[in-house]
Chains A and B, each alone.
Chain A
Amino acid sequence: MNNIFSIHTVRFITLVIVQVLIFNHINFLGYINPYIYILFIALFPIKHNRIIVMLLGFSLGLIIDLFMDTGGIHAGASVFIAYLRPAILKTSFGTVYEHQSVRFSNIDFGSKLTYFTLLTVLHHLVLFSLEIFSISKILLILQKTLFSSIFTILLSVIVTIIFSRKTK
């Protein structure tokens, strides 16, 4: 129990620092940044209470907002995906999720990719809608969502492959 808590604390702090100090300054083609910190919400153990995931997602987003001077857009988007996470898990993993036996280390690549994609696209859509906050600029929102999502998904998959523990 203690071990699990410390892993997630370390992951939380590392993701915040890496996001704020490195990934916010990539600005690929001028505006494309990956938002890798949602990996924390994606990889949080499933058996835990939904309320804990939402509260942690909210505080994670708020800390990112604090660093970026963006009001509450990251907090809102993180709470949104934290709330919808069970539904996304069900669509991407199907019956395995029903038995509460999903472990992120031993599921096949395809469903993992679906899971990350759904989570990332939803997060980015809410994030950029809140950031731009105007329906007349819907094309800009969709454009930013598309490009940043591709970047984030790519990086999330790479990071999970690099840091996955092969002990089964």
Chain B
Amino acid sequence: MQQIINFIIRNKNFLLFLLLFCISLLFTIQSHSYHKSKFINSANFLTGGVYNSINDISSYFNLKSQNEILSEENRKLRALLQNSGIKADSVFIDSTKFNKTYRFYSANIIKNSYSLTDNYLTINKGKRDSIKPDFGVISSKGIVGIVDRTSRRYGTVISILNTTSRISAQLKKTNHFGTLKWSGKNPALVQLIDIPKIAPVQKGDTIITSGRSSIFPKGVPIGVVEQFNLDAAENFYEIDIHLFNDMTNLEHVYIIENVNRAEINSLLNSDE
């Protein structure tokens, strides 16, 4: 017993180092596996509060470009409204309130990140605004990510610029679908894999979400094909996609809730 205590006292530095290093390794491994419960995330009161108050100031600096993005979106929506045949003077029914598959919430990005290999964003909406994990996040131009963790007032989003993120995507012109992931190198390019060789892929083709995952509705724009080649086994394409979204300049985003998600998931799980 005496010897054991002596050993511990003699090596206390090394043992403490080993303990602390193992704890940080544990946190690291947890952060690398998709959707494990994490203690260390920026959706808490302290970090969320700091980012929120700084964002109050720094959001003024890119007010002009954000205004242009929003007015461009308004123009698109207005064109859609005019051409949809709905008369502006007909009785107005707020159709967002009932009987819809998808609900939309608006939020602001208070912390953006794109230079790491696993990027997480922080938004200023949380449980209080009925945001829950696994809601989709898009901007006016295209896809942004998936809600990961929420606290009372803040939430974290797994960006598509995250090597653990996997999103189902397809070609717009045909229904060939594959998986969207990120290689960790260029924040403007993401990779689409598992598109079968038979698909007629061409440079400049538009890629959209496939709606198979019950997170995003079908047809959310992602990007255009920049270049493509066959993988090592020569059965599937590996496609580099240039994102429509400028992930380095994000401010206003929309969060999508699929109302029927629980039902779809229970149906899928009952098959197993």
With both chains docked as a complex, state the minimum distance between the C-beta of B122 and any C-beta of chain A, in angstroms.
Answer: 8
Residues from chain B with a CB closer than 8 A to the CB of A140 are: 184-185
Q: Are B44 and A75 in contact (CB under 8 A)?
A: no
Residues from chain A with a CB closer than 8 A to the CB of B40 are: 62, 65-66, 69-72
The answer to whether the Cβ of B38 comes within 8 Å of any Cβ in the partner chain is: yes
Looking at the complex, which one of A61, A69, A137 makes contact with B41 (CB distance below 8 Å)?
Answer: A69
The answer to whether the Cβ of B117 comes within 8 Å of any Cβ in the partner chain is: yes
Q: Are A131 and B27 in contact (CB under 8 A)?
A: no
From B120, which residue of chain A is reached at the shortest CB distance? A69
Check A71/B20 contact, CB under 8 A, given A33-B115, A50-B13, A76-B25: no
Looking at the complex, which one of B23, B28, B47, B114 makes contact with A66 (CB distance below 8 Å)?
Answer: B47
A24 vs B47: C-alpha distance in the bound complex, in angstroms? 14
Q: Are B28 and A71 in contact (CB under 8 A)?
A: yes
Q: Are A30 and B187 in contact (CB under 8 A)?
A: yes
Check A54/B20 contact, CB under 8 A, given A21-B54, A62-B40: yes
Q: Are A70 and B17 in contact (CB under 8 A)?
A: no
Looking at the complex, which one of A21, A30, A32, A69 makes contact with B113 (CB distance below 8 Å)?
Answer: A69
Q: Are B17 and A79 in contact (CB under 8 A)?
A: yes
* CB within 8 Å of B: which A13-30 residues: 20-21, 24, 27, 30
The answer to whether the Cβ of A73 comes within 8 Å of any Cβ in the partner chain is: yes
The answer to whether the Cβ of A68 comes within 8 Å of any Cβ in the partner chain is: yes
- Counted as pairs of residues, one from A and one from B, with CB atoms less than 8 Å apart, the total is 109
Check A51/B54 contact, CB under 8 A, given A58-B24, A68-B42, A76-B24: no
* CB within 8 Å of A: which B113-146 residues: 113-118, 120, 122
Residues from chain B with a CB closer than 8 A to the CB of A32 are: 115
Q: Are B28 and A67 in contact (CB under 8 A)?
A: no
* Size of B's binding interface in residues, CB under 8 A: 42
The answer to whether the Cβ of A80 comes within 8 Å of any Cβ in the partner chain is: yes
Check A72/B42 contact, CB under 8 A, given A27-B115, A50-B13: no
From B23, which residue of chain A is reached at the shortest CB distance? A72
With both chains docked as a complex, state the minimum distance between the C-beta of B73 and any C-beta of chain A, in angstroms.
Answer: 26
Q: Are A73 and B24 in contact (CB under 8 A)?
A: yes
* CB within 8 Å of B: which A65-100 residues: 65-73, 75-76, 79-80, 82-83
Looking at the complex, which one of A69, A80, A83 makes contact with B156 (CB distance below 8 Å)?
Answer: A69
Residues from chain B with a CB closer than 8 A to the CB of A75 are: 20, 23-24, 27
The answer to whether the Cβ of B34 comes within 8 Å of any Cβ in the partner chain is: no
From A51, which residue of chain B is reached at the shortest CB distance? B16
Residues from chain A with a CB closer than 8 A to the CB of B184 are: 132, 137, 140
The answer to whether the Cβ of B75 comes within 8 Å of any Cβ in the partner chain is: no
Q: Are B20 and A58 in contact (CB under 8 A)?
A: yes
The answer to whether the Cβ of A44 comes within 8 Å of any Cβ in the partner chain is: no
With both chains docked as a complex, state the minimum distance between the C-beta of A16 and any C-beta of chain B, in angstroms.
Answer: 10
Check A72/B113 contact, CB under 8 A, given A20-B50, A54-B16, A58-B20: no
A27 vs B249: C-alpha distance in the bound complex, in angstroms? 13
Q: Are B20 and A69 in contact (CB under 8 A)?
A: no
Looking at the complex, which one of A24, A27, A31, A72 makes contact with B24 (CB distance below 8 Å)?
Answer: A72
- In the A-B complex, the 3 residue pairs with the smallest Cβ-Cβ separation, listed nearest first, are A71-B31, A72-B27, A76-B24
5 A-B pairs within 8 Å (CB atoms) are namely A55-B16, A62-B40, A69-B120, A75-B27, A137-B184
Residue numbers of A with Cβ under 8 A of B are: 20-21, 24, 27, 30-33, 50-51, 54-55, 58, 61-62, 65-73, 75-76, 79-80, 82-83, 130-133, 137, 140
Known A-B contacts: A65-B40, A69-B156, A76-B24. Give 13 more (CB < 8 A). A33-B115, A51-B16, A54-B17, A65-B27, A67-B50, A69-B31, A70-B116, A72-B27, A72-B31, A75-B27, A80-B17, A130-B25, A132-B184
